[in-house]
Amino acid sequence: MLGRDPVLVATVALIFVLLALFVVYPLFQVLRISLEPEGRFSLSLYARYLSERAYYRPFFNSLVLGTLVAGAGTFLGYLAAFALYRVRVPGERVFRALFTLPMISPPFVLALAAVMLFGRNGLVTRHLFSELGSFSIYGLGGLFLVETFAYFPIAFLLLIGVLKSLDPNLEEAGQDLGASRFQVFLSITLPLSLPGIYSSLLLLFITSVADFGNPLILSGDFEVLSVQAYLKITGEYDLAGGAAVAVVLLVPALLAFLVQRYLVMKKSFVTVTGKPSPARVRPASAGVRGLFFLACLALALAVLTFYGMIAFGSFTRLWGADWTLTLSHYDRTLRMGADYILDSLFLAAAATPATGILGMIIAWLVVRKRFPGRSAMELTSMLTFAVPGTVVGIGYILAFNQRPLLLTGTAAIIILLFVFRNAPVGIRAGIAVLSQIDPSIEEASADLGAGAGYTFRRITLPLIAPAFFSGLATSFVHCMTAISAVIFVVSGDWNLITVAILGLVENADLSQAAALSLILILIVLAALFLIRFLVGRFEAHLFVEAP
């Protein structure tokens, strides 16, 4: 069938070329240059990591931090998801909005708030409770605190889907047989949640290990791999050394991925399939609901405290020294930082539709077509999702800094990095939706004489539209808040608002950084509302009956 459709053949070939060029080739370059530091094969860089403490200490520090953040973030995410969708505490919509707030801002914005609260001139440690002056937010403790609050929303959103998919009949049956709610949780709910928990642990571990912005601000003497790789390339101009650190950074991420796959695949977690369930979750007692409500309230207040500091700090003349309220930082941002804002909006707007379209095409090919290399296409397209952003960024700067692929310093390299870094989100969403659509629906349309274009426009597209627009929204947010991968490819001609914020924090211009952060958050919120509005208009247009 593939040979009879030349357009399909060309599409498959083009996708393979793009994946090879912008996914496989950059990662290959990282490995190659780390093994050829002086133009010939050598393991000297890796031998140095095994023999010198100054080199292997950041590796173990990254593992410790990643493990702690993965565990604590998954716990908070599961606690919040269970409280909202199993215990049914009041205020679900408000709590959900607050719990996902860190996802629409750069992760290091929380590090900025932590410095404003607990830094050497922080509101808490210097002005409210001066006896805490010896307390330091810099190091493992501060990183653990900030990264946990920055990344627990990932676990929260993932585990919401897991808990919603569990059949309440199973828990109801356990309670009918005399088990307490706690026993039902331990024997039924928690075991069936393990695939989501394992996935959450994996995602948070990889995200923490690859985090760049927070460690750059708060690590102090606690060195981690992502910052070491950055300093190797930008500070020491050692491309081979930076590539070797990137490969070392890749090892724990891939090991975590393999362990997660093994834990999920060795057991069956299937419950009930193919039948609707009329059962609803039984309401918890007033005492249990009150307890979980207080836990959610405490978590929400912690998030609000961080972002409240950002808002308050953006209006102070000089944080920690002059508390006079002023709008001067916003005036300066609009006059001098307009280029950063416009560049970020242009690059995100250019990358977002390309990311969504590429994701849907790959998902459609993988689910609906059969051709040699189909599994390889799916696996390759997901590589940048499993690989830390720092590794991807180093790969792009190594792969595209010389002719005939000289893209360094151009907008193209940033847009391409955004597209292939964020495409896996749309691909997974598209695969999930298309897998639930019976192919016979499209076949029936073809049997009735409809062409492929009409079938796709009138049947397939309306069904996958929610996944498509969800991928667009997620891609835009990631483009506007990215830092770990893109820090290596920005230039004087094309810069990003996140890089500008990070530079302001490093220069201790906290109030100006807070103002720019708040503007970024407002831009992302406005874009999300616009995308949601367009989704409604587009779906309404698609579902209008044909004359």
Enumerate the H helices of 369-449 as residue ranges: 374-381, 383-386, 389-399, 411-435, 439-447
In a domain, 209, yes or no: yes
> Is the domain of 69 the same as that of 179?
yes
> Is the domain of 353 the same as that of 255?
no
Domain CATH code at residue 197: 1.10.3720.10
Which among 313, 344, 359 is the end of a domain?
313
Cβ–Cβ under 8 Å, residues 429 and 471: yes
Query: Which DSSP state fits 460?
Result: I
> Is the domain of 516 the same as that of 417?
yes
- Which distant-in-sequence residues (6+ apart) come within 8 Å of 465 by Cβ? 535, 538, 539, 542
- With vertex at residue 474, the alpha carbon angle to CA 472 and CA 476, rounded to the nearest 5 degrees, is 65
Cβ–Cβ under 8 Å, residues 301 and 94: no
> Is the domain of 228 the same as that of 137?
yes
Cis bond before residue 404 (omega within 30° of 0): yes
- Which distant-in-sequence residues (6+ apart) come within 8 Å of 157 by Cβ? 77, 100, 103
What is the spatial distance between Cα 204 and Cα 214, in angstroms, rounded to a whole number? 14
Compute CA 248 distance to the chain's CA centroid, rounded to the nearest angstrom: 21
The amino acid at 211: D
In a domain, 419, yes or no: yes
Which among 257, 278, 313 is the end of a domain?
313
Chain position carrying tokens 């659509």? 437
Question: What is the reported pLDDT for 172?
Answer: 72
Question: What is the reported pLDDT for 280?
Answer: 63
What is the spatial distance between Cα 487 and Cα 289, in angstroms, rounded to a whole number? 44
3-state class (DSSP) for residue 400: coil
In a domain, 90, yes or no: yes
In a domain, 363, yes or no: yes
In a domain, 521, yes or no: yes
> Is the domain of 190 the same as that of 279?
yes
- Which distant-in-sequence residues (6+ apart) come within 8 Å of 449 by Cβ? none
> Is the domain of 77 the same as that of 133?
yes
The amino acid at 5: D
Question: What is the reported pLDDT for 282?
Answer: 67
Q: Is the dihedral of CA 418, 531, 481, 203 positive or negative?
A: negative
> Is the domain of 176 the same as that of 125?
yes
User: Closest Cα partner for 377 from 364, 388, 396, 387?
Assistant: 364
CA atoms within 13 A on the CB side of 541: 9
In a domain, 395, yes or no: yes
Residue 427, class by beta-carbon neighbours within 10 Å (0-12 exposed, 13-18 middle, 19+ buried)? buried
| 266-283 per-position pLDDT tens digit | 554 444 444 444 556 666
Residue 137, class by beta-carbon neighbours within 10 Å (0-12 exposed, 13-18 middle, 19+ buried)? buried
DSSP string, 148-208: HHHHHHHHHHHHHHHHHHS-HHHHHHHHHTT--HHHHIIIIIHHHTHHHHHHHHHHHHHHH
Name the domain count of the chain.
Answer: 2
Neighbours of 76 (CB within 10 A): 21
> Is the domain of 86 the same as that of 193?
yes
Question: What is the reported pLDDT for 68?
Answer: 95
> Considering just the CA atoms, what is the radius of gyration of the chain in Å?
25
> Is the domain of 407 the same as that of 533?
yes
Query: Which DSSP state fits 34?
Result: H
- Phi/psi region, residue 310 (left: phi>0; alpha: psi -120 to 50; beta: rest), is alpha
In a domain, 454, yes or no: yes
Query: Which DSSP state fits 275?
Result: S
> Is the domain of 26 the same as that of 49?
no
Question: What is the reported pLDDT for 23?
Answer: 92
- Residue 547 lies in domain: 1-38+325-547
What is the spatial distance between Cα 396 and Cα 261, in angstroms, rounded to a whole number? 28
Cβ–Cβ under 8 Å, residues 61 and 143: no
> Is the domain of 3 the same as that of 94?
no
Q: Is the dihedral of CA 322, 326, 329, 335 positive or negative?
A: negative
Question: What is the reported pLDDT for 276?
Answer: 46
Question: What is the reported pLDDT for 546?
Answer: 42
> Is the domain of 52 the same as that of 32?
no
Q: Which residues of the chain fall below pLDDT 70?
A: 1-5, 127-135, 167, 176, 260-283, 432, 435-438, 446, 451-457, 461, 466-467, 535-547
What is the spatial distance between Cα 316 and Cα 328, in angstroms, rounded to a whole number? 9
DSSP string, 301-332: HHHHHHHHHHHHHTTEEETTTEEEE-SHHHHH
In a domain, 320, yes or no: no
- Which distant-in-sequence residues (6+ apart) come within 8 Å of 153 by Cβ? 77, 99, 100, 101, 102, 103
Residue 188, class by beta-carbon neighbours within 10 Å (0-12 exposed, 13-18 middle, 19+ buried)? buried
Which among 286, 313, 340 is the end of a domain?
313
Farthest-apart Cα atoms in the chain, separation: 80
